[in-house]
Structure 1
Amino acid sequence: MRGFQALFEIVPDPRRANVSHALPDILLIAFAAVLCGAETCVDIAEFGEAKREMLGEFVEMGHGTPSHDTFSRVFRLLDPSAFEAAFRRFTSAFAATLERQGLAGPIIAIDGKSLRGALDTARCTMPLHLVTAWAADHRLILSQCRAPNRSEVTAARTIIALLDLTGCIVTADALHASRKTASAIRARGGDYALVIKGNRGPLHQAIQTLLADPDPAQAASTSETAHGRYEERRAWVAKTPPDWAQLYGFEALCAVARIDSLRRSNGREQTDTRYAIFSRLLPPHEALRVIRAHWTIENQQHWLLDVAFGEDRIHTRSDHCAENLALLRRLALNLLQHDPRKLSIRAKIKRAGWSDHYLSSLLAQMR
């Protein structure tokens, strides 16, 4: 827990100097509460009171536990950029200890998610929209950024500019398949794997023509059966003509891929074909792995945040509160994903609430 406090000491305290509770202590109590399933500032205050004896071993409790108003005021006023910088500082150090997987190197998926409950219905505002960078191979959230005016593309480029992408391959869906995003990734030392759809008309058409009749013998394929559903995928990769990078404006464009998928479920069969562009030439099996890895951001991050942490039903929305609490949930998910116990995320959250020893072991990862 001392590691957590040291990590967040760099975050400026937005309150006046004469306060009863130090900011790192407030953040530690709040983080521990989120690990145990707390959703709101009222929940966090109740957790602090219930766990006062345990938390007193690590946090100064001379003035009692902070009230829900104190937690609310801190998270409303706390600078999200400074808070996220401390978060990124921890995840960068943590990610450096993880092993490289596959020929493509680390795969960083970028995608956005709305917090559906974080809106003011009386003012007909849109819900808060956040974009995250996700280390797909290691199930680790690297960074979070609020989408200004719900512009996911702008937020994605902000995140890209903050990360060292040397040796990484960055994936994104068709929304981000733009020349500026590709150049931003290359400027940070990374390679890209971007899905291309009809919004990139001429390029999309050219890829379709290039891969119109691929040789089945040159394909890489995978198949799996789970939950009563059968899925089969095949991928082809082709080098692009030398002039394509300049012709279509995508820096370092050197390869394209076609991915055919077939799904059978409940007696129904569905087929789909997708295309992607790459700045690094990969064999078909590795290109297929990279494109598949992108979608782990949906089922191993977004889905878990909604189902295990109840993110979509949380109505916190004042000032910066929703954004800052969302960052704590993502930090909590990082720790729970890497806890070695063979339990679901939901079970780990409950166990943390029931067992002080288990909660302390989770917090000990903050070093």
Structure 2
Amino acid sequence: MPCLAAVWLCSLTAAGHDRACAVRAWLARTSDAERARLGLPWDPFDGYRLPSAATIHRFLQAVDDDPPSAADGDSGQEAQPAAVQAESVTGERVAPTSAVALDGKTSRHAKRADGSRVHLVGVATHGEGRLLGQIEVDAKTNETTVFRRPLRPLELTNVMVTTDALHTARANLDWLVTAKHAHYLAVVKRNQPTLRAVLAALPWADVPTGAVTRESGHGRAETRTIKAATVRHVDFPHTLQAIRIHRWRREKGKRPSRETVYAITSLAFEQAGPALLAGFARHHWHIEDRQHHVRDVTFGEDASTSRTGRAPATLAIFRGAVINALRAAGYRHIPEGRRDHVTTALNLHGFP
């Protein structure tokens, strides 16, 4: 199993090797020294024995939700939340030292035997978008019921966890604060109608604007205005501040649009002011930009029709591991990193 995990990891790193037959072709081009580093079995008569394409593919069915140990090589790097810049604090209250985002992703063309689509829930760091964990959601459940599984193995003390509106559930956010000693910033939409009504009714006109950010590029300009207010009467576990984000967006060829988003956080004003909260809310989408989008565009994950057993979820784990390794090596663009490691993937992942 570790040997086959190493084969998949290193072959996926090299550009153009995204299927079992291509993995087998990459393996056939390796040298004896590289095969020894991969841990392939040795036969005194025939030399190193190479697994068939069928064996390579069957391996995908046997991997669970946790990344195989071989996927980490021997680089000694651990998947830890990336540091974020914290504001100055007073008293005993401390600002979060790092932040992670939890979000789901559907593999649109990968279907189970019953016809349902494969859905994955992952956790990634803000900033570099490093994948820390991922699980497959059963066809008969939803993301909310598996909220704790990808977060449970992580050290989240004093870490900010950002989620979308789907995960704004009392039990999960209470567990996050009481059991994991973490903080949360959760979006509130119409799936929590009472809470959203309370937030919308706050006297926002009397609350000063805390931060304004402007971005432009690719034919789009966006301005975000954020206000944050300390609240004591909101009936939701550990909520200390309410947040309102107003977005004004203009895209080329389209009419300007406006959107108001509400959120809650377990951070007090002394721990995080509006500017820091705005950064947390904006950086939540790093999991989309730097994990999900890259896996779809560079690795063709969304277009992949692999559908046997756990193959789609397992391949997603390996793709995330490759992205992590290339980003740690200093690559900003993953396709460039894959092209540079067609023959040196073992070195990238630290195999002895």
Q: TM-score range by the shorter chain?
A: 0.7 to 0.9
| Aligned partner of residue 324 in structure 1, secondary structure | helix
Aligned to 1:42: 21
The reply on whether 1:344 has 2:333 as its aligned counterpart is yes
Aligned-residue offset at 1:148:
2.0
C-alpha RMSD of the superposition? 2.6
Aligned-residue offset at 1:320:
2.2
Aligned to 1:147: 137
- TM (normalized to structure 1)? 0.83
Alignment of 1:192-203 (within 5 A): 192-203=184-195
| Structure 1 residues 214 and 92: CA distance shift in structure 2, 3 A | farther
1:158-194 deviation digits (Å, cap 9, x = unpaired): 1222322101011111111110110121121101100
Gaps of 5+ in 1: 1-22
1:203-254 deviation digits (Å, cap 9, x = unpaired): 1111111143144x4321111211121111110100002x42xxx2x22111
Measure, in 2, the Cα distance between the counterparts of 1:92 and 1:148. Answer: 33
Q: Contact conserved, 2:6 with 2:71, CA < 8 A, in 1?
A: no
Measure, in 1, the Cα distance between the counterparts of 2:251 and 2:83. Answer: 36
Q: How many residues align?
A: 331
Aligned to 1:11: none
Measure, in 2, the Cα distance between the counterparts of 1:59 and 1:212. Answer: 60
Measure, in 2, the Cα distance between the counterparts of 1:309 and 1:96. Answer: 24
Aligned to 1:204: 196
Q: 2:154 aligns with which of 153, 163, 174?
A: 163
The reply on whether 1:126 has 2:116 as its aligned counterpart is yes
1:232-286 deviation digits (Å, cap 9, x = unpaired): 1110100002x42xxx2x2211111000111112252111110000001221111
Counterpart of 1:229, as a letter, is: R
Alignment of 1:15-34 (within 5 A): 23-34=1-12
Aligned to 1:6: none
Q: Which has the higher helix share?
A: 1
Identify which range, 157-166 or 90-99, moves more after superposition: 90-99
Aligned to 1:13: none
Aligned to 1:183: 174
| Structure 1 residues 92 and 362: CA distance shift in structure 2, 3 A | closer
Alignment of 1:67-106 (within 5 A): 67-78=52-63, 80-81=64-65, 83=67, 94-96=78-80, 99-103=83-87, 104-106=96-98
Aligned to 1:12: none
Aligned-residue offset at 1:88:
9.1
Aligned to 2:103: 111
| Aligned partner of residue 218 in structure 1, secondary structure | coil
Counterpart of 2:50, as a letter, is: T
Q: Contact conserved, 1:39 with 1:314, CA < 8 A, in 2?
A: no
- TM (normalized to structure 2)? 0.86
Identity %: 25
Q: 2:265 aligns with which of 269, 272, 278?
A: 278
Measure, in 2, the Cα distance between the counterparts of 1:179 and 1:88. Answer: 35
Aligned to 2:317: 327
